Amino acid sequence: MKRRVVVTGIGLVTPCGVGTRETWGALLEGRSGIGPISRFDAADFACRIAGEVRGFDPGQYLDRKDIRRMDTFIHYAVAASEMALKESGLTIGPANAERVGVLIGSGIGGIDVLTRQQQVLMEEGPRRVSPFLIPGMIINLASGLVSIRTGAKGPNSAVVTACATGTHAIGDSMRLIQHGDADAMIAGGAEAPIIPLSVAGFASMKALSTRNDEPQRASRPFDSGRDGFVIGEGAGVLVLEELSIAQRHDARIYAELVGYGMSGDAYHISAPPEGGDGAVRVMRAALEDAGLAPREIDYINAHGTSTPAEDALPPTINLDDPDPECDLDFVPNRARRVTVNHALNNSFGFGGTNAALLLAKFRP
């Protein structure tokens, strides 16, 4: 029998706010975190907007040496992890350190550190390249540094599956707890890709919105006027615990993870197959894992990329002219209070990698 896995802590660093309360409040109010790019001069770029994190002070979480040595995605991962761990109330010590793991992924990792050191190499030669280039950019260093700082000595890994990274990280962590490899996991994803090379690369794929004069209205999934997604940054981390462990320290339980599915499209590097076969199969896999029927799902957190391809539900903002081909209830523009017993989260990434998580309202 699989062990039950619950969510006891949430940490968020996003363009909508630093902290869970700030981000969730912005989502329910339908406030966009998108604005003009301020990190570099984007005047010559087709896309000049992004979801930048504002008001984040890495010095609250890291010392000056680690701030200087590590890429920004690692800063975000550490901050979100510490927020989630604090909220969970889980204490890591000698008695349980080997049963607490970390699994934090990233789609691109330390691309800012990489490009800066490439410039150093070209301009100043190989002897001037930083000895912290590799540890500062590789994706598993987010998990590594969180482990070092928290003392978590259990499974330590990373996931790299484009837009599906965070969902895979949480699902894989759920499996580790279910099967007894860990009692608790710090799991999620982090990204900091807002640099010239990344923006230029995505823009060259025609993947980004060019609604530069209306940044807060640019991301508009399911709207007939959608023209691409908007690149963003930040981190989202959960603390997952085996149920009895969470109950032992009277943790607040947000939800129970009850299903996880994975699939591959085997079709195209960036486009899904007609009919969405991979998406269909991954949702079915999550439903089967949870032992639920489609009619039992109250809410789907869709992978809405805005490309032509008694709980409150956050709205889908900028849905002004619904695409007639998208004939579902997308909670347009205003949050809605409903009862959600089961929620399905979908994430689909370049390369045809798909993941789905099914969460349930916790019942003892």
pLDDT at 67 over 60: yes
List the one residue out of 346, 343, 320 whose CA is nearest residue 332: 320
pLDDT at 331 over 80: no
The reported pLDDT for the residue numbered 265 is 93
H-type alpha helices, the chain: 20-29, 64-69, 72-88, 111-124, 133-137, 141-150, 165-178, 196-204, 243-248, 277-290
The full 3-state SS of 153-209, as one line of letters, equals CCCEECCCCHHHHHHHHHHHHHHHHHCCCCCEEEEEEEECCCCHHHHHHHHHCCCEC
pLDDT at 224 over 70: yes
The reported pLDDT for the residue numbered 338 is 73
Dihedral angle computed from the Cα positions of residues 202, 11, 115 and 66, in that order, rounded to the nearest 10 degrees: 180
Range name among 22-36, 63-77, 277-291 with the lowest pLDDT average = 22-36
Instruction: Choose between 37 and 318: higher pLDDT.
Output: 37
pLDDT at 311 over 60: no
* pLDDT tens digits, one per residue of 5-30: 999 999 999 999 999 999 999 988 88
Rounded-to-integer distance, Cα 71 and Cα 126, Å: 20
Give the mean model confidence (pLDDT) for residues 200-220: 92
Q: Give residue 97's pLDDT band: very low, low, confident or very high (50, 70, 90).
A: very high
pLDDT at 310 over 50: no
CATH topology of domain 7-254: Peroxisomal Thiolase; Chain A, domain 1 (3.40.47)
Dihedral angle computed from the Cα positions of residues 120, 121, 122 and 123, in that order, rounded to the nearest 10 degrees: 40
Strands 17-18 and 5-14: antiparallel
**Cβ contacts of 73 within 8 Å, gap of 6 or more:** 106, 108, 109, 110, 142, 190, 191, 192, 233, 235
Q: Give residue 313's pLDDT band: very low, low, confident or very high (50, 70, 90).
A: low
The reported pLDDT for the residue numbered 60 is 96
Q: Give residue 301's pLDDT band: very low, low, confident or very high (50, 70, 90).
A: confident
Give the mean model confidence (pLDDT) for residues 179-201: 98
The reported pLDDT for the residue numbered 308 is 53
Amino acid making up residue 128: R
Q: In the chain, where are the structural domains located?
A: 7-254
**Cβ contacts of 178 within 8 Å, gap of 6 or more:** 2, 3, 5
State the chain's maximal CA–CA distance in angstroms. Answer: 62
H-type alpha helices, 8-63: 20-29
* pLDDT tens digits, one per residue of 105-134: 999 999 999 999 999 999 999 999 999 999
Q: Give residue 257's pLDDT band: very low, low, confident or very high (50, 70, 90).
A: very high
**Cβ contacts of 172 within 8 Å, gap of 6 or more:** 103, 157, 159, 187
The reported pLDDT for the residue numbered 271 is 86
pLDDT at 52 over 70: yes
Strand partners, 6: 241, 256
